[in-house]
Structure 1
Amino acid sequence: MPSSILLRCLLVLAALAPVALRADDAIWSLLRAGGQVVLLRHDRTEPGVGDPAGMKLDDCASQRNLSEEGRAHAQRLGEVLRSRGIPVAGLQASPWCRCLETARLVFGRSGEVQPALGNLFGRYEHEGPQVTALKKIVERVPERGNLFLVTHGSTIHALTGVAPAMGEMVVVTPQPTGGFRVAGRLATP
């Protein structure tokens, strides 16, 4: 009996795989066309949660930073975006070092530091004002490309309700009447 359940599960997963690939293809097509806002969670970090006590934004050594695996993954993401011809209209990043480094490795530059993209983990008193500021950013349609925002999982979750993995992109589409909708999620292939 257990082997028949396993077989059924495998058949269901095999049937769903093409659907997931088509969904990814649709999101990549949206990005190639431009006009999207991409919330990119910083890449993989050294082990831990949040930042060490006494963390200072102007001192990367006091923060939790990218791991070697995260650096390699961020570089791969940059290669994938370039190979797929994804146009970049703008780049903004959280002032945390792991976000700035992710941006540099993916795009070759840090982009504009945007405090509204700052980490909300353990700083929930900032959530209301930051989400309000972020909504203003993601509700504008980027011209001639996509706007990439490199930020934190807690910040993306507060804005969209989506909890992305490290290095995952959440693509949102600004709406003509205001607001935005989540178009989908992409992990680096």
Structure 2
Amino acid sequence: MSRRRGAWLLLGACLALPVHASEDAAWAALRSGQAVFLMHHASAPGAGDPDSFRLGDCTTQRNLDGGGRYQAQQWGQLLRSHWIEAPRLFTGRWCRTQDTALELHMGAPQPMAELDYFEGDTAAIQRMRQAINALPRGLPLVLVTHGVNMAALTGTAAAPDEALIVALPLTEPARVLARIPAPH
């Protein structure tokens, strides 16, 4: 191999290290309870909810389809592959957030009203941040919510098939440690 090609390979390897290292550090922070895994609910066809929507009545809401259930199961496998086995699991009160958490197969989720869907309400963002920061530290924390909430909390528009590992305590905006693509 030529010296020039070897130098380019070495440079490429060095440039790749911080990205991988920072993602590894984010997973380590999550495992130690110093970060939160913030995820959008799995695939639920359509947009919004019907006019007849009622919390607590899944028949009136937009729900996960088979693909969404499979997607959530894949997220659970990804978490376990990073040694996240029994996290504290919180969701909004919408059925699609709760069903996503159940399909992770990581224990029973606890509903948290602050993770409910909201549309840019500054007071709601502050309540969500305070509620998350008030949770006890030390164990991994997985939160299933809505994309609009994730964007409002972090200032990062995560793709629907992407999760974020976010540093605790949450700041304004929250500090994203890693963007985690959906498992395939």
Task: Please give the TM-score of this superposition, normalised by the length of structure 1.
Answer: 0.76
CA–CA separation in structure 2 for the residues paired with 1:188 and 1:55: 28
Tell me, yes or no, if structure 1 residue 130 matches structure 2 residue 124.
Answer: yes
Q: Distance in 2 between matches of 1:29 and 1:188?
A: 19
The range that moved more, 153-162 or 20-29, is: 20-29
Offset of 1:104 from its aligned partner? 0.4
Other-structure match for 1:86: 84
Structure 2 matches for 1:1-189, cutoff 5 A? Answer: 21-46=20-45, 48-86=46-84, 88-120=86-118, 123-124=119-120, 127-140=121-134, 142-175=136-169, 180-189=174-183
Within 1, Cα distance between the matches of 2:136 and 2:161?
A: 22
Task: State the SS of the aligned residue for 1:74.
Answer: helix
TM-score, normalising length: structure 2: 0.78
Given that 1:175 and 1:181 are in contact with CA atoms closer than 8 Å, whether structure 2 keeps it comes out as no
Q: Distance in 2 between matches of 1:72 and 1:141?
A: 29
Aligned residue identity for 2:156: V
SS of residue paired to 2:143: strand
Q: Deviations over 1:42-70 (max 9, x none)?
A: 01111x21112221112111111112111
CA RMSD of the aligned region, Å?
A: 2.7
Cα distance in structure 2, aligned partners of 1:19 and 1:44: 32
Contact kept in structure 2, 1:37 and 1:138, CA below 8 Å: no
Question: What amino acid sits opposite 2:115 in the alignment?
Answer: L
Structure 2 gap ranges (5+): 1-11
